[in-house]
Structure 1
Amino acid sequence: MTMSTQHLLCALDTIADGGACVVDAPLASGDTPVVLVRRGVRVWGYLNRCPHFSLRMDHRAGHINTYKGQVLMCAHHSALFRFEDGHCIEGPCAGATLTPVPVRVVGDAVHLTDQEPRPNTSLEGP
């Protein structure tokens, strides 16, 4: 996908530094909820699906818990996932990983860079 065909997901400031938000991304399978997490100018994207029971990670639509700006927390069983690689460090699915969705920060916006989730993908901002 070239820069001109990237899909805008949200403005960078939509995601609090150390926080997360949920956006719908136009993946090949259709519009899919994606969790975006941010630390400084870095943003990572993951399918909004906990590997424990394949449930959404938000306790109410669009609201994702984070802890100390370092990990995502699944609302259902409190599994903790690192921002930078989606690896579960604590909880019932320890050792599992979230499914990454490739995103890129361009200026002050977050873009989807591919329509298929791929393992271990994160790109730095400017």
Structure 2
Amino acid sequence: MSEIAAWHQVPGAPAPGSRLGLVDELADGAAALHALGDPAQPFRYILLRSGERIYAYVNRCAHFGVPLANKLEHLGVKPHSSIHCCVHYARYRWQDGYCEYGDCVGESLLAIPVSIVAGEILIAEQAK
């Protein structure tokens, strides 16, 4: 169980407005792993696309705080449905990051709010 409760508490978290990727580079039903910032301690995140909807999560398992995967081929992806951690096989719902199977059932991935501006996926401003 992690003590970090929000994406912006993760070390190296980028500021709202930061570019996470391009919509056109993410096929419908696809997942992508990315990292930003300091190579020694990068901010790792996952992008998922379902139609016009883009979901972003910190690449950090809710069970143990390790990355769900370091390479895309190791991330278990069921398009439009779920992703799973390659370490402990916790399964998270695509649309909300909720863990529905594994040692952290009931917990969720840290969602990153996104907005789409001119085809760019940006970190959205925090709701107040």
TM-score normalised by structure 1 residue count = 0.73
Separation (CA, whole Å) in 2 of partners of 1:68 and 1:9: 20
Partner SS for 2:24 = helix
1:20-99 equivalences in 2 (<5 Å):
20-25=31-36, 31-58=42-69, 60-63=70-73, 64-99=75-110
**Larger strand share, 1 or 2:** 1
The residue type equivalent to 2:57 in the other structure is Y
Select the residue among 15, 22, 26 that pairs with 1:11: 22
- Closer, same or farther in 2 for the Cα pair 1:68/1:10, shift >3 Å? closer
Task: In structure 2, list runs of 5 or more residues that go unmatched.
Answer: 1-15
Could you tell me which amino acid in structure 1 is paired with residue 53 of structure 2?
R
Secondary structure of 1:99 counterpart:
coil
The structure-2 alpha-carbon separation of the partners of 1:9 and 1:77, relative to structure 1 and needing over 3 Å to count, comes to: same
State TM-score, norm by structure 2: 0.72
Report the CA distance between 1:106 and its aligned residue.
Answer: 2.3
Unaligned runs of at least 5 residues, structure 1:
119-126
1:17 deviation in Å? Answer: 1.4
Q: CA RMSD in A?
A: 2.3
In structure 2, distance between residues paired with 1:18 and 1:40: 7
Matched residue pairs, number? 108
